């Protein structure tokens, strides 16, 4: 009966005979999953698509180049009937019924004894959806569920196979939509989240009530001991058997002290996974329409930490060399010292009229852009009361506008994207 719901079941086909009749488009879509299931696949068809033929040539299945004949389904556990001959499909379906072989009919779902669900996979989970005679709806439901599992908006944490440990997740520049799919999924599966203030804070509200959220900025000890305290907390929670996410802003390894945390966890024998994030050094300029490179304008960009001044003995930056570069400079953590940095760059030869853009709270609802030159940026930042976090872009790319004409002369590389 067409209106009777199908009984869902997962077939374990490893080493078992599956017969596919027809080598056209239906077979091309269904064969990869049958092969992946470990089935012993026999394809019966006088012809096949190039993709199906390639599967036969590589030994993934056995192909008999002929039409269907009675007896083909006698030893099968499962059959896919998808020839272009209605009479052959009807005869094969009757044989499947006689031998109690579950069979799918591509040309007549009502005459089949089995239906193929819309399937998708994410991190070891197989999603199979059946809606009877509405395959488009099945596919839409499948896509919604799989997408939710992949991006973490549908929380379905593992319980039996989950391994305690720590994931260092780069949360991106702040907009919660800019965290990676893997990062969001791990966040949804966490027992404990230790979060930086620069991470995507809006995602914390979406966590289930049982998840413990620890503000890394409020971990006790003084400023000097803060990183050590974070390291100790990561190790302690992981050794309690919990799944821990260390949610960091940007990318864990771009001025994020991520490697220090990896080293501490490794010394403690705690499994650790690093999930890269979108760095604010490229995403924040992009959010306000600044390309860090542009054909005919800049062939390189350099990312520099501005957390210490150029004349500070602790500085590891060669400001003289940076001033000599023609490309783009992107400064992070430099708001408080931008005046001194600009003076050093000018003193070492960088043009005082070089365009500068300061982007505060980039990608967030409170984002704002302040434009200046290298000569005026220090005063502009003070006058506009710019505060961290902010990304500072120095170079001619700052003056590139979306409505500007393209460069008059192509560059040597021909403008190929990388």
CA distances from 349 to 89, 344, 352 (A): 80, 9, 9
CA distances from 263 to 166, 183, 258, 260 (A): 12, 20, 9, 5
Structural contact between residues 271 and 257, judged by C-beta atoms closer than 8 angstroms: no
Strand partners, 254: none
Sequence-distant (≥ 6) Cβ neighbours of residue 247 within 8 angstroms: 169, 171, 187, 193, 194, 195, 196, 199, 200, 203
Strand-by-strand arrangement of the 102-105 sheet = 62-64, 40-44, 17-21, 78-81, 102-105
120: part of which helix (H) or strand (E)? strand 118-122
Instruction: Report the distance separating Cα 383 and Cα 381, nearest Å.
Output: 6
CA angle 196, 200, 203 (to 5 degrees): 110
Instruction: Report the distance separating Cα 67 and Cα 47, nearest Å.
Output: 9
Q: In 3-state terms, what secondary structure has residue 39?
A: coil
Catalytic residue (choose from 72, 151, 196, 251): 196
Catalytic residue (choose from 218, 311, 312, 353): 218
Cα 256 from chain centroid (whole Å): 20
Does 239 participate in catalysis according to the annotation? no
* C-alpha radius of gyration, the chain, whole number: 30
CA distances from 102 to 7, 17, 64, 115, 135 (A): 12, 12, 21, 9, 19
Sequence-distant (≥ 6) Cβ neighbours of residue 328 within 8 angstroms: 292, 293, 298, 300, 301, 302, 393, 394, 395, 396, 397
Strand-pair category, 212-215 with 192-195: parallel
Does 248 participate in catalysis according to the annotation? no
Structural contact between residues 355 and 327, judged by C-beta atoms closer than 8 angstroms: no
Structural contact between residues 238 and 232, judged by C-beta atoms closer than 8 angstroms: no
Q: In 3-state terms, what secondary structure has residue 35?
A: helix
Rounded to the nearest 10 degrees, the angle between the axes of helix 258-267 and helix 226-239 is 50
Query: Which residues are the active-site residues?
Result: 196, 218
């Amino acid at each position: 009966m067409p209106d009777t719901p199908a009984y869902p079941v997962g077939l374990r086909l490893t080493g078992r005979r599956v017969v596919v009749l027809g080598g056209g488009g239906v077979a091309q879509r269904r064969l990869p999953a049958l092969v992946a299931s470990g089935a012993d696949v026999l394809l019966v068809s006088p012809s096949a698509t190039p993709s199906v033929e390639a599967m036969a040539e590589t030994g993934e299945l056995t192909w008999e180049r002929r039409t269907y004949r009675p007896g083909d389904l006698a030893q099968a556990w499962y059959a896919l009937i998808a020839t272009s001959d209605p009479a052959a499909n009807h005869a094969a379906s009757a044989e499947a019924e006689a031998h109690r072989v579950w069979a799918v009919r591509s040309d007549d779902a009502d005459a089949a004894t089995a239906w193929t669900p819309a399937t998708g996979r994410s991190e070891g989970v197989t999603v199979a959806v059946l809606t009877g005679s509405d395959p488009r709806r099945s596919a839409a439901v499948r896509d919604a569920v799989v997408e939710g599992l992949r991006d973490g908006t549908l929380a379905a944490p593992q319980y039996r196979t989950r391994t305690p440990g720590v994931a260092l997740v780069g949360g991106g520049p702040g907009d919660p939509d800019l965290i990676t799919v893997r990062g969001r999924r791990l966040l949804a599966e966490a027992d404990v989240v230790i979060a930086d203030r620069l991470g995507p804070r809006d995602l914390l509200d979406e966590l289930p009530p049982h998840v413990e959220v620890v503000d890394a900025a409020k971990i006790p000890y003084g400023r000097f001991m803060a990183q050590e305290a974070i390291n100790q907390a990561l190790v302690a929670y992981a050794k309690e058997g919990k799944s821990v996410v260390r949610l960091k802003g940007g990318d864990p390894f771009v001025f994020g002290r991520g490697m220090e945390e990896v080293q501490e966890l490794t010394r403690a024998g705690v499994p650790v996974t690093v999930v890269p994030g979108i760095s604010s050094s490229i995403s924040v300029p992009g959010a306000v329409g600044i390309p860090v490179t542009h054909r005919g304008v800049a062939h390189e960009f350099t990312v520099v930490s501005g957390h210490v001044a150029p004349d500070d003995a602790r500085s590891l930056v060669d400001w003289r060399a940076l001033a000599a570069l023609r490309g783009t400079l992107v400064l992070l953590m430099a708001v408080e010292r931008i005046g001194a940095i600009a003076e050093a760059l000018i003193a070492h030869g960088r043009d005082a009229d070089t365009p500068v853009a300061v982007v505060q709270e980039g990608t967030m609802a409170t984002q704002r852009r302040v434009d200046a030159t290298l000569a005026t940026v220090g005063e502009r930042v003070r006058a506009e009361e710019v505060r961290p976090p902010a990304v500072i872009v120095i170079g001619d790319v700052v003056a590139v506008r979306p409505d500007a004409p393209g460069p008059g002369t192509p560059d040597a590389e021909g403008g190929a994207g990388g």
